[in-house]
Structure 1
Amino acid sequence: MKPKVKQFVERYLKEIVEGNAAVFAGAGLSAPAGFVNWQELLRPIAEELDLNADIETDFVALAQFHRNKHLGNKGQQNQLLIDRFGVPKSPTANHEVLAKLPIETYWTTNYDDLIEKSLAMQGKTPDVKYTEAHLALTRRGRDAVVYKMHGDISNPQDAVLAKDDYERYHVNRAAFVTALSGDLVSRTFVFLGFSFTDPNLDYILSRVRLNLEENQRKHYCFFKKRVKFPNETEEAFKNAVVRQELAIADLLRFNIEAVLVDEYAEIDEALQLLHRLYRSKSVFISGSADLFDPWGRAKVDIFSHTLGSQLAKHGYRVVTGLGKGVGDAVLSGVVDQVYRSSKNQLDDALLVRPFPQQIDAANRQAVWKRYREELIGQAGIAIFLLGNKSNGSGNVIADGMKEEFQIAAAEKLLIIAMGTSGHAAKEIFDQIAANPEAYFSELSDQAKYTVLQLGTLDAEPDVMVSEIMNAIAVSIKK
C-alpha cells in the first residue's frame, strides 16, 4: 500500500474515532453495483440530439438541450431516471464497509438508495434528506444522516439534472447549500467516486474557501492515475495527464488532498484497512468460570481487573457480555481507569451487554448466537480466558465460549487465547497452535510468534497483561 494511502487511513481513522468524519459519494461509488454514470445515463438523449455521448463532456448542458427541444417538458428525462436508477441493486463491498464504520454524515449527488440500504443492512437507522422539507425534520433514533443533494429516484420530477435545475439550485435548495457549507467547515470529508465537475459543489467549496481562507478544514479524495486509453494519441494522453495534475493542484485551494492510486482496487483496500484498524480499537473479552483452577480465584480477579484497566488506559474499548466469574473484574478495571483519567469517557471505553436470561428454551440458542455475533462484530480483537460452567452434576467446558471463538475466527478477529488458564481457553489455544496459518495468515512472523507465546504464558498478572498489550501493538502494525 502506498505511503500516501496509509497516511490517509491513519488521519481519517482519527477523525472517525473523534466523530468528525463524513463521506461525499459520487457516481463512481455506485457504478460497481451496476448503476450508470452520467455519460451512459444521457446516451439516449445524446443520440436523439444527433450528438456523440463519447466525446461530449458537458452533460448538464446536454440534458438542458434535450429539455429545450421538448419545450421544458421533463417527462422523458424523469422516465430515463426511473429506468436507469429505479431497478433495485445491492450495495457494493465499499458501501458495506462504510456502513459498518460509525460515520454519521453522508452527502451524495447520486439518486440511488445504496447508501441508506447499506446502513439498514448493518442494523442502522438512516435519516434520508432529499427535499428542503426533510431538513427541518429529524427521524427518531437515527444513526446517520444521508443528504441527497440532487434528489432521489423516488421523486424523479424534482431531480437536479439540467442547467435549469442547477441555476435555480441556490433558490430552490438553499438550505442544502447552507447545510453542506456547515459540514465542510466542521467535518472531515472523503470524496469517493466523485469527479469534481459538479457546479453546485464548486460553488459551495468556493464560498467556504472565501469565508475561511487559510483556515479551511482538511478533506480527502481518491483519483485513479490517468492511463493511456486504446487508440488514444500520445498528444491527447499527455494533455490528459497534465490536466489531471492541474486539477489535483487546484483542489488544494479548497484544502482537499488527492490520494492518487494506480487501480481502483487500492481504494477498496484502503477502506478495508480503515475498517480493520477501527475494529482493532475494540477488544472483546470472552471469559466465564465456576471453577478457577489452575490459576485460582485471586489470580483470575487480578488479571481480569488489570486487563480491563490497561486496555482502557491505552485507548481501547472493552466489549464484554459480562461472563460469570470474570466479567465483573474486567468491568471494574475499566471503570477504575476511566474515572482516574480525565481523557476518557466511559461510553468510549466500554460496551457491556449482559446476556438476557429470560429467553424461552426453544429460542435461547438462536437468540444467543445472534447476540454473540452482534457483540463480537463490534471488535477486532478477542481475548479468551478460562471457559467452564457447572451443569449440576459437575464442571464442564463452556460451549458458549467455544461458539464465540468460532464467530471471532469467522470474522477474522485477532484471537488471543490464554491457554494456561485452562478449560475452553486451553482447547481454543491448542486448536490455533495446531494450525496457526488458518487464524493468523495476515500477521507478520513476529506477530504470530508473539501472539502464540501468550497461550503458554503463566506469570504474574501484570506481566501477562503487559505481554498482551505488546502482542496487540505488534499485530496491529502488520
Structure 2
Amino acid sequence: MSLDQRGWTTLLRQIHKGQCTPVIGAGASATIVPGAARLARSWAREYDYPLADDQDLARVSQYIALVDYPARPKEMMLEALAAVGDVDLGGTPYPYLAQLPFPLYITTNYDDMICRSLRPEKSPAIDYCRWNDYESIEERVPPGRTHRPSVAQPLVYHLHGQADWIDSLVLTEEDYLDFLISAAEDSQHRSQFLRSDIRTALAGSSLLFIGYRLSDWTFRVLFRGLMRTIRANTQKPAVAIQLVPGEDEVAPGKVAEAQEYLQRYLTQLHHVPSLAMYWGDATQFARELLERYEEYVRGGD
C-alpha cells in the first residue's frame, strides 16, 4: 500500500513507542556526496577500465584493486569523502531525522553525516559491522562497540563500514561477496558479524528505509536479509521510503507501472504484508515526517 493516513499513523506510533529503526542509504547524501555511478565513471576513466559497465562502482573498484593494489579503491573513496568537506547539511534529510527520538540509526553510508547532524543536542556513538576479521590484527575499535543506545545517546551503526576505519569499508565485488558470506553464516559466527543487541533491535522494530532505490541490488539484498531477521520474531509494520525511479531506470512514461511492480515485488516475493511506500524525495519525506510527528505528539497517542 502507499503511505496513506493510516500508514502515517502506524509509523508515527511506532516511532513514539521507540519501536522504529531508520535504515539510511546513499540517496540521503545525494545532494552532497558524489553518487556511485559518477564515481565509478570517473575512476574508470582514470584507470582505463576495459569493460562496458563503467557505472558499477563495485566492479570498477575491484578492477582498481587488482591492477593497482588492494587498498587503493578504498583510499580513493576516502579522498572523495574528504573532498566534500564540512558542508552544510541543511538540504539533506539528516537535520530532520536527528530531531526524531531514534535510539539507533543504521546506515550503509561511509560518511559521518548522521553523527554530525545529531551533535551537539545529542551524544552519538559509532560502530560498524564486523564483516571481516581484520580487527584480529588492528586493535583500534570504535568506541561505540560496547555502547548501549538511547535517544539522548544514539548509536550510529554502519553496516558497510565507516570512513575512520578504512578496512571496514564494503566497496569492491570481493568485499560484497565476503559480506554476504559472513551474513549467511550460522548463528555462532553471526554474533561477530552483527551485534546481538542490533539483531534484537531489528527484530522488534519497524524498519524505515530512507535514501534507497528499489532497483538497487544493494537495497534488495539488505531488505531481504533484514526482513528475515524480523520474521524470526514478531513481525512489525515495515515502511520502505524510496526515491522515485529515475528516467534512466524505467521506460519513458512507465514510472507508475514501475512503482507498482517494485512494490508488488517486495510485498509478495519477500512476504511483507505490511509494507507501505512513500514515492518522493528523501529530504521532503524527512521534513514531512518530523512535522507529522510533532503534530502527533501534541495531539497525544
**Band of TM-score, shorter chain:** 0.7 to 0.9
Matched, 1:19 2:18: yes
RMSD over aligned Cα, in angstroms?
3.5
Matches of 1:112 and 1:124 in 2, distance apart?
A: 18
Residue aligning to 2:70 = 73
Q: Is the 8 A contact 1:9 1:270 kept in 2?
A: no
Aligned-residue sequence identity (percent) comes to 21
Distance 1:25 1:259, change over 3 A: same
Which structure's CA Rg is the greater one? Answer: 1
In structure 1, the residue matched to 2:78 is 82
Question: Which position in structure 1 is the counterpart of 2:164?
Answer: 154
- Count residues in correspondence: 271
Please tell me whether the aligned partners of residues 94 and 271 of structure 1 are also in contact (alpha carbons under 8 angstroms): no
d(CA) in 2 for partners of 1:265 and 1:136? Answer: 30
Q: Secondary structure at the match of 2:288?
A: helix
User: What does residue 201 of structure 2 align with?
Assistant: 183
C-alpha displacement of 1:203 = 5.6
**Paired AA for residue 138 in structure 1:** H
Contact persistence 2:211–2:243 (CA under 8 A): no
Alignment of 1:174-213 (within 5 A): 174=190, 175-177=192-194, 179=196, 180-195=198-213, 196-198=216-218, 201-202=222-223, 204-205=225-226, 207-208=228-229, 211=232
Alignment of 1:70-149 (within 5 A): 70=68, 72-75=69-72, 77-86=73-82, 87-92=85-90, 94-121=93-120, 123-130=121-128, 132=130, 133-134=141-142, 136-138=145-147, 143-149=153-159
Going from structure 1 to structure 2, the CA distance change for 1:254 and 1:30 (only over 3 Å counts) comes to farther
Q: What secondary structure does 1:237 align onto?
A: coil
Shift of 1:165: 1.3
Q: Secondary structure at the match of 1:42?
A: helix
Higher relative CO (CA 8 A, sep ≥ 6), structure 1 or 2? 2
Partner of 2:186: none
Q: Which has the higher helix share?
A: 1
How far, CA to CA, are the matches of 2:77 and 2:55 in structure 1? 19
Contact kept in structure 2, 1:181 and 1:205, CA below 8 Å: no
Instruction: Using the TM superposition, give the Cα deviation of residue 266 of structure 1 relative to its aligned residue in structure 2, in angstroms.
Output: 4.3
The separation in 1 between residues aligned to 2:258 and 2:56, in whole angstroms, is 16
Matches within 5 A, 1:188-267: 188-195=206-213, 196-198=216-218, 201-202=222-223, 204-205=225-226, 207-208=228-229, 211=232, 216-226=235-245, 228=247, 236-237=251-252, 242-252=257-267, 253=270, 255=272, 257-261=275-279, 266-267=284-285
1:146 positional shift: 0.7
TM-score with structure 1 setting the length: 0.49
Query: What is the letter of the counterpart of residue 79 of structure 1?
Result: E
Q: Deviations over 1:144-182 (max 9, x none)?
A: 111011111122233110122122225499434455543
Residue aligning to 2:178: 168
Question: What secondary structure, in the 3-state scheme, does the structure 1 residue paired with 2:119 have?
Answer: helix
| Change beyond 3 A, Cα 1:51–1:202 | farther
Quote the Cα distance in structure 2 between the aligned partners of 1:209 and 1:29. Answer: 24
Q: Is the 8 A contact 2:40 2:57 kept in 1?
A: yes
> Which amino acid counterpart does residue 252 of structure 2 have in structure 1?
F
TM superposition shift of 1:220? 0.9
Cα deviation per residue 1:14-64 (whole Å; 9 max; x = unaligned)? 0121111211110111123x11221123222222244688x6564323322
AA of the residue aligned to 2:229: V
Q: Is the 8 A contact 2:242 2:279 kept in 1?
A: yes
Q: What SS is found at the alignment partner of 1:220?
A: strand
Contact 2:125 2:156 in 1 (8 A): yes
Q: Distance in 2 between matches of 1:248 and 1:57?
A: 25
Superposed CA offset, 1:232-284 (max 9, x none): 9xx93367664543322122125262424355564244223234324525xxx
The equivalent position to 1:37 in structure 2, one of 19, 22, 35, is: 35
- Residue 223 of structure 1 deviates from its aligned partner by 2.7
* Matching of residues 284-323 of structure 1 within 5 Å: 315=300
* Matches of 2:288 and 2:4, distance apart in 1: 7
Q: CA–CA distance in 1 between the matches of 2:34 and 2:4?
A: 27
Q: What residue is the counterpart of 2:133 in the other structure? A: none
Note if contact 1:46-1:52 (Cα within 8 Å) is conserved in structure 2. Answer: no
Whether the 8 Å CA contact 2:109–2:160 is kept in 1: the answer is: yes
2:134 corresponds in structure 1 to: none
- Structure 2 alignment gaps of length 5 or more: 131-140, 184-188
What is the CA distance between 1:191 and its match in structure 2? Answer: 0.6
* Unaligned stretches of 5+ residues in structure 1: 282-314, 317-478
Distance 1:223 1:206, change over 3 A: closer
Q: Structure 1 130/137 Cα, relative in aligned 2: closer, same or farther at 3 Å? A: same
- Cα separation, 1, equivalents of 2:3 and 2:271: 19
